[in-house]
């Protein structure tokens, strides 16, 4: 263990900031999903994710996953980026959970490795788990990558999410980016003043104290933001400008989503 908790954390920050940029870029591409009204997309995609979560049959989940891939191509998302950011990560995570199920699920043994038997039920269960997660994660990532964050939040109103929550989410997101940059700057300036190695205790103290300073900065910023809001006339009411308008293409998409969800729900039972 060396000082690389610092660089690891800094790398994590740049990854997060990079993702923010990529999402904003891909949301403004001229693709299929980007052209849809955010409300239609939100409700449609959530319905599909729910269908994937409730489906009980493997072919249906594979079909939903394939649909996700087709939609990604149609929305001009890079499949390589999707594979790296979504599919591999979800696979690694789920496979780790699913692997022991091959052996632990009681059932008919189909293959033996040493003293352990892979059961048919175990293999099916692991496959179900992995495809379900892949399908759901692909569909929800498509929603996020093809919709500007502010539009996505405003569309949440259609799901009856309170205005205050939407305002809180919008503000949180904005300051996540700012505070990430602040923390990044603090770590980098500390790193540039460091010679030699810190031991575990010193590293812990460094991380925790940076956290403390960040919290002080956060609270100070909170007060400033409040004063700025006051100055601009904030009187305790949150108003959202929602100027979404449904167009012909959106009605087609609505019907398409409905047809897909009903088909998948019936076939997946």
Q: Is 16 in the site for another protein (CB under 8 A)?
A: yes
**Range 36-75, binding another protein (CB under 8 A):** 46, 49-50, 53, 56
**Range 240-259, binding another protein (CB under 8 A):** none
Q: Cβ of residue 192: shortest distance to another protein, in angstroms?
A: 18
Q: Which stretch binds another protein (CB under 8 A): 31-39, 95-103, 241-249, 254-262?
A: 95-103
Task: Classify 240 as helix, strand or coil.
Answer: coil
Q: Is 31 in the site for another protein (CB under 8 A)?
A: no
The whole-angstrom separation of Cα 262 and Cα 117 is: 38
Q: Cβ of residue 225: shortest distance to another protein, in angstroms?
A: 4
- Looking at the Cβ atoms of 74 and 144, the one nearer to another protein is 144
- Looking at the Cβ atoms of 157 and 173, the one nearer to another protein is 173
Other beta carbons within 10 angstroms of residue 268's beta carbon come to: 18
The sign of the torsion formed by the CA atoms of 143, 147, 148, 150 equals negative
**Range 103-142, binding another protein (CB under 8 A):** 103-108, 115-117, 120-122, 124-126, 128-129, 132-133, 136-137, 140-141
Instruction: Give the contacts of 147 (CB within 8 A, at least 6 positions apart).
Output: 27, 33, 34, 38, 41, 42, 155
30 φ, ψ (degrees, to nearest 5): -100, 80
Instruction: Give the contacts of 14 (CB within 8 A, at least 6 positions apart).
Output: 184
């Amino acid at each position: 263990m060396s000082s690389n908790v610092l660089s690891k954390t800094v790398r994590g920050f740049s990854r997060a900031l990079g993702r923010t940029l990529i999402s904003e870029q891909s949301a403004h591409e001229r693709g299929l999903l980007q052209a849809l009204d955010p409300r239609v997309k939100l409700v449609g995609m959530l319905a599909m994710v729910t269908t994937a979560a409730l489906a009980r049959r493997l072919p249906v989940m594979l079909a939903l996953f394939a649909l996700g891939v087709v939609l990604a191509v149609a929305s001009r998302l890079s499949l390589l980026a999707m594979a790296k950011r979504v599919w591999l990560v979800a696979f690694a995570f789920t496979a780790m959970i699913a692997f022991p199920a091959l052996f632990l699920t009681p059932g008919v043994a189909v293959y033996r490795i040493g003293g352990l038997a892979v059961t048919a039920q175990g293999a099916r269960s692991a496959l179900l788990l992995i495809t379900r997660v892949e399908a759901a994660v692909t569909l929800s990532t498509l929603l996020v990558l093809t919709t500007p964050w502010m539009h996505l939040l405003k569309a949440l109103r259609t799901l009856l999410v309170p205005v205050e929550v939407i305002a809180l989410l919008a503000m949180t997101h904005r300051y996540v980016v700012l505070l990430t940059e602040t923390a990044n700057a603090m770590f980098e300036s500390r790193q540039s003043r460091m010679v030699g190695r810190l031991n575990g205790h010193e590293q812990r103290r460094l991380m925790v104290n940076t956290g403390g300073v960040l919290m002080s900065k956060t609270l100070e910023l909170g007060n400033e933001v409040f004063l700025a809001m006051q100055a601009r006339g904030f009187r305790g009411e949150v108003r959202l400008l929602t100027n979404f308008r449904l167009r012909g293409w959106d009605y087609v998409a609505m019907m398409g989503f409905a047809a897909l969800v009903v088909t998948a729900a019936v076939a997946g039972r």
